Structure formats: structure tokens, C-alpha cells
Structure 1
Amino acid sequence: MTAAARPATPACSARCGPTTTPVRSGTTAATPDKTCCCDSSATSRCGGALGAGSSTARSRDPYTGRRLTWRQDGFAIQVDHVYPLAAAWAAGAWAWPQRRRLRFANDVRRELLAVSADANQAKGAATPSQWLPPRGRCGYLGAYLRVAVAYDLPITAADARVVRRVATRC
């Protein structure tokens, strides 16, 4: 599923429970089961610990087009922040109140995607001028821009050039 085709947050929340898990540094970690559950086309149940509750879920990696099956690929699925946390921090998220940072870091509807570990590691903290997915570029750039607008995050001149260039083929 692409970011645009995701179920709405309330339906997802009803199936998958809370969004965040606090950690000591004052930040949060996204609940991977929720992201996988909300990105998947079929889930028998959603649970707490990664992989503990979801017995079957199928999805497509929006960056590679590769089919991901929770039962087979559970440890090869990672959660990507479409607008990288490091880029947001450098762009001013460091000055946001903690509540806004938590909302941004755990925004399943716009910011988080279940993707293959290989794609997520290749992307790292890169923005569009530094990395584009091998497939689904238009969807990725649309999601990136939606996050930037929703959280009033800047788009660098280099990223804007890439968006304009790729958009001519969307």
C-alpha cells in the first residue's frame, strides 16, 4: 500500500492500539506492529511486542515493490520515517514541544511506512536530494511533501529541484 492508500488513523487505532512506547531519552519509538498492521492488507490480529501478535500480514514495500509477508519477512521489515527524524531535527524540530515531537515521530497516517530493511537502511536519514526509492518515487515524494506541510517543515532548494524534476513523470 502507498502512504496515500493507508487506512484512516481511527480505524487503524481501533485495530492496533496505542501508537507510542516511551523510552528513557524522552523520545519515543514507533510501535512497529501498529505500522505493519496499518500497512498490511490482511492481518489476523495485532499485538504488543514486534511479531508477537501478528500472525499473518501482507503488504508491498512502497520503495521496492517487493511483497512483504509478516510471517516470512518479519525481521526484514523496518519502519521508515518518510521525512527523516534527523532532517526534521536539523530543520527545527529540536525547538518543538515534546508533545509535537512525539506526534511527528509516531504519525502512522503520514510519517511512518513499513518497508524492507534493505530499503530503509539504504535511505537512512537521507532526504529526496540524497536518495530516491527504486520504485514508487511519485508516492514517496508526495508523502514527503505531505509530512513537510503537516508539520511546517522546510523543503531545501536541492529537495525542491528533485521534486520538480521527478514530478514531470508522475
Structure 2
Amino acid sequence: MLENTLGQLKALADNSDPTFTDPPNIRLLTAPLPNSIADPNFFDLTPNDDVFQLANGILRNFPGGLRALAGNDFIRGSGAAELMNGNSGQDTLIGGCGRDTIRGGQDFDIIYGECANDILNGNQGDDYAYGGTGDDFIRGGQGRDALVGNSGNDTLIGDAGIDRLWGNEGADL
């Protein structure tokens, strides 16, 4: 199973400029979900498989940022700076063009900073983190991770586990 995961990570990392096709059922999220009221610091998603595009500035009143719950979530950020937190499930978190901070969760996650200077952290599980353009800070966390800096002067830290790191263009650490 782990070898298959490493194969998936390698295939993702070999594509120096991945593109993500939005699922056909992606919805623009313009207001908090009813369950977000439970903790005013977080914009909570549902415990299901969520598929959302964030409206620009929707997370401004939530200092803890977006928090995925259970489920395999696909979240695409906006042009604003956003804080997104994965949780259980295989999440795909795409930052957009703001200075984003994106944290994976407990399982295999795909984290994509896109443009700007982003902070990406895989946390637990085998993760794929791609910085995109800008000077990114990318940390793998626990598990077998694939970290790709792309253009810009990136900092890549593998952390625990057997990780693969690609700096690509720029003066990377």
C-alpha cells in the first residue's frame, strides 16, 4: 500500500506544473455553513465530502481559518490570503493567489499553494505539497511526502518519514 502511495506521489511530483480540474459539482461558497457557528474561530465544513470554491474574503472573520472535518474534501481558495486546515479524509486544498497557509490532515492530502509566498504543511499521512510560484515554505510532516518548490526561492523540510524533495527553479533550501 505504501509503495502505491509513493508511486502516486512520484507521478504527481514528476509533473512540474500540475493543473487541477475542478470537479463538476464545485460550488462557490459565499457564506458560512450553519455548522460554522459552533466555534466562531473556525469556518467549519461538513463531515461529508465537500467540494467548494471559496469566495474572496469569506474567511476574514474566522481567525482559525477554514477547517475541513471528515470526508474527502476538494477546496479551492480565492485570491485572498487564506488559512486552510485539512482533517481526516483525503483532502485536496488549493490556495489560490493570496499568501496562503495550508495544513494537511491525517491522511493522504494534496496541497497546492499556487501563486504568492505560501506556507504549506502536510502534517500527518503521506502527502504531496506543491508550492507553485513565489517563495514558499513547505514542510512534509509525518509520513512519506513529496514536496515540490517550483519557481521562487523555496524552503523545503521533509520532517519524519522517507520524503522526496524537488526544489526546481530558484535558490532553494
TM-score of the two chains, using structure 2 as the length reference? 0.28
TM-score of the two chains, using structure 1 as the length reference? 0.28
Higher helix content, 1 or 2: 1
Larger RCO (CA under 8 A, 6+ residues apart)? 1
Higher strand content, 1 or 2: 2
